[in-house]
């Protein structure tokens, strides 16, 4: 049945924030799971580009970007509060099936990333860019915890170093496949950061947060330019980052009945993400037509 454009537009205005909230919940609920990158989850859910452009070009459309980022942030906070601990408990009880579920979810986002890379024909540059992204993530994951511990002092951490640490952590927060908590471990700041958050120790949190905010703005601006001017190499390198995140959480080959269970969870994760991507594509198309 035909609907008036105003009614159709009203319906879409409701649908889009709901999907933004839902995707925020998924990203927030999974980003605290060891080895799962919030950036990777945002990428495979098809919301990554919008997040980058909303932050880097915030002033161009302040009202729309503010509403979008607020809706996503509310969803992310709700996801962390509601699902992070249950997911961690499920991973402790059923480690292999749950990790295969996440691998399936990541694989479900591959077609979207390839579509954004605008690949029209095969060339040697395609595996080269993908390998570069994969190599960067694997190189970071091979560094031992506390690699930079020598330049920190547990009792007194220099404020300038905390700002720099915030800048580095921002890159991990924005780029898919790289864990923020792991980078903090490399810098010898994970335990101190957790204690500072628990006790709201502002002399530690303010410089770290300052570097984090500055880093997010800087990295998102660079990423938006790269995605606009050089979409293929940028998305293929990001695809390598996402592949690296799979390598980090791969739990090995299951045996016996657990093999059947892992295949089931892998398939479920894949099709859930494909379903979400399909619904999102339909709403986006309808929005453009309206």
- What does each C-alpha distance from 16 to 42, 108, 115, 281 come to in angstroms? 15, 21, 21, 11
Whether the pTM exceeds 0.85: the reply is no
pLDDT score of 86: 82
* Alpha-helical segments (H) within 143-256: 159-174, 180-186, 190-199, 202-229, 231-249
Longest dimension (CA), the chain: 68
Closest-CA residue to 95 (of 267, 272, 252, 256): 252
pLDDT score of 222: 86
pLDDT score of 4: 41
pLDDT score of 268: 92
Predicted confidence (pLDDT) per residue in 233-263, tens digit? 888 888 888 788 777 778 889 988 899 999 9
Instruction: Give yes or no for a contact between 221 and 51, defined as CB atoms under 8 angstroms apart.
Output: no
pLDDT of the chain, 290 residues: tens digit per residue: 434 444 444 333 444 788 888 888 888 877 766 556 677 778 777 788 888 888 888 888 888 889 999 999 899 888 877 876 787 788 888 889 988 988 888 788 787 777 777 777 878 888 999 999 888 878 777 766 555 554 444 445 578 888 888 888 887 777 776 667 667 766 777 777 777 877 878 888 888 889 888 888 888 888 888 888 888 888 888 888 878 877 777 888 998 889 999 999 999 988 887 776 665 554 444 444 44
* Sign of the CA dihedral with 73 first, then 210, 154, and 195 last: negative
Counting every residue written for the chain, the total comes to 290
Instruction: Give yes or no for a contact between 134 and 243, defined as CB atoms under 8 angstroms apart.
Output: yes
Predicted confidence (pLDDT) per residue in 58-78, tens digit? 888 888 889 999 999 899 888
Closest-CA residue to 164 (of 141, 181, 143, 189): 189
pLDDT score of 147: 53
Tokens 């709901």 belong to residue: 18
pLDDT score of 35: 59
């Amino acid at each position: 049945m035909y609907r008036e454009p105003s009614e159709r537009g009203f319906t879409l205005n409701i649908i889009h924030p709901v999907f933004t909230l839902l995707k925020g919940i998924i990203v927030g609920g999974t980003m605290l799971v060891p080895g799962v990158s919030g950036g990777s989850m945002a990428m495979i859910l098809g919301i990554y580009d919008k997040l980058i452009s909303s932050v880097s070009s915030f002033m161009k459309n302040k009202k729309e970007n503010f509403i979008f980022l607020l809706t996503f942030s509310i969803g992310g906070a709700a996801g962390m509060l509601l699902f992070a601990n249950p997911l961690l408990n499920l991973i402790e009880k059923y480690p292999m099936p749950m990790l295969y579920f996440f691998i399936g979810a990541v694989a479900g986002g591959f077609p979207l990333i390839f579509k954004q890379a605008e690949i029209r024909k095969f060339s040697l540059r395609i595996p080269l860019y993908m390998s570069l992204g994969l190599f960067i993530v694997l190189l970071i994951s091979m560094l031992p915890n506390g690699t930079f511990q020598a330049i920190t002092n547990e009792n007194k951490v220099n404020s300038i170093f905390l700002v720099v640490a915030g800048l580095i952590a921002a890159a991990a927060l924005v780029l898919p496949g790289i864990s923020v908590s792991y980078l903090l471990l490399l810098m010898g700041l994970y335990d101190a950061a957790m204690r500072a958050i628990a006790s709201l120790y502002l002399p530690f949190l303010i410089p770290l947060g300052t570097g984090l905010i500055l880093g997010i703005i800087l990295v998102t601006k660079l990423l938006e330019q790269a995605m606009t001017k050089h979409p293929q190499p940028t998305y293929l390198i990001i695809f390598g980052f996402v592949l690296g995140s799979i390598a980090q959480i791969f739990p090995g080959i299951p045996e016996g009945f657990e093999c059947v269970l892992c295949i089931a969870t892998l398939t479920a994760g894949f099709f859930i993400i494909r379903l979400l991507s399909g619904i999102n594509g339909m709403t986006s198309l309808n929005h453009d037509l309206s």
